[in-house]
Structure 1
Amino acid sequence: MAAKEVVRGPLHLLHLRLKATTFLCHAVEKPPVPKKEELSKADLAEIEDALEKIAAEKQELLIEKEELQDLKEEMADYKQDVDELKDVVVKTGKVDIEESKAAMRLYNRVNRIIGSMDHLIDKLNEERKSMQIKLDSTEGPAGEKTKDNLIEINDLLLAMRRIQKSSSNTRLEMITDLLDTLDIDHDGAVKIDHVLKVIDTLGRENVKVSPAQMKEIIELLIKEEVLQARNKEQQAQQASGETGAQPPTAEQHEQQQGNKGP
């Protein structure tokens, strides 16, 4: 019995060609594809740690300035007391009342310490101001109240470099991209509330996200914040409009009726 002839059409030939192509692709050794970098929950926790450290440093600087000011006032009071004591000595003629050498040495030493602390705090303030030149030039008096809620992106990245034990440059670049997305007006500073809100949202979900997904999430959060602010403004306007258009009192109504006459 003769074997049945198999008809090989164009689709079959295409299938064979695809199989051959697939075989050749597998035969050729390809370099390993690098794993796609994503920001994990641990990365977000590191950003939060850096924020907390910077906030603590700012608070510590404020406390140091307050304590230094208190010390200055106490030294000024002491000097005033010494001057008054000298006046009493001159007026009474009692020469046995005088400031001890130990007190004078302590006074001079404390003054030198105050001077060095003043210089250190001034230097820290100058460094902070130099990083906020652009922010200061773009904001008016109305923006002064929001400065405490802003943080320089460079400050945050430097803090992260200090606290991260094993961080790749790629991850820091991704974090920089994240912060740049949060930097709406491109002034080099971001709102701490924005960063914490993103970290809280992603941390609750406990997922890894790509930079593109991160950008979408940030944009959605910012839009949500804008809508909430707009709704609050509309509610405030409606409330002020309702209070401004109150119905007349009974006394005002009687007066209006009297003015109309019979």
Structure 2
Amino acid sequence: MSDAAQNVIQTISLPYGTDKRFAILRRCRRIWTIASIHGDVERLNALHETLTNRYEAGDRFVYLGNYYGYGPAILETVDELLRFRRIVLAQPPYTHLDDIVYLRGRQEEMWRKMLQLQFSGDCQEILDWMLERGADATLAAYGGRASDARSAIMEGLLAVSRWTGQLRQAIRGHSGHNEFMTGFRRAAYTDDGALLFVSGGLDPSKDLNEQEDGFWWNSQGFTEAAESGYRGFTRLVRGYDAAREGIVEHEVTLSIDGGAGFGGPLNAVCLDAAGAIVDQISA
């Protein structure tokens, strides 16, 4: 291992080794990364079917967020993600929880805020902002209605708290969904400091633990990192791109959003330990 790589490990692993906001991918030979799904369960089923015959023992998997929102089959999407995870983890040599990682995307971040709406400064404004950006599909999937939320807001914070409590109860009514939701990571990186995986963006001027909402909303920062790099990582990978331009590779960055949930394909890319593409699937 080079001195530069060792320095990155010293910088990254020590502060975050016990920080559950981040996943550390250990001793990786190959890593499959899966782009934003947005409730498109048919494409996810097709991708998993192909992936079952393509992944090799010991491959790692990083789903890059946005499982919820927009698409017509959000509950079924979560069920399929859980099904595939069970199949993979039932086979050796998978033993570590971070062999399969789910990052939190924009949709999951909005859903988290939806479930805490009573703590928002302006409940009505924030609710409308989230609904306009795809959260209405997730709300409907779990049996919620925007009209009920607006009525609760008119009654006061106690009523809003009861409404979000009903949503949480609905989530718990679907086996594994609450655990899935609470297990999201903000970002993932390899233990040699080579590869960093984010959902939608980052702020190149800030360290990982200072990003706050940058992982979901700072897409421009990810574009800037294509030229300047970030904290010594040799490759930055994201799964959401508002332009949905598909697999776009630069020297440092790799964006793979094909537009699943919006009529486009669902992409998965397999990277070697250095970040080079060694296989890919579009479903």
TM bin (shorter chain): under 0.3
The two structures have a TM-score, normalised by structure 1, of: 0.23
- Which protein shows a greater Rg? 1
Instruction: Write 1 or 2 for the structure with the bigger share of strand.
Output: 2
Instruction: Write 1 or 2 for the structure with the bigger share of helix.
Output: 1
Greater relative contact order (CA < 8 Å, ≥ 6 in sequence) = 1
The two structures have a TM-score, normalised by structure 2, of: 0.22
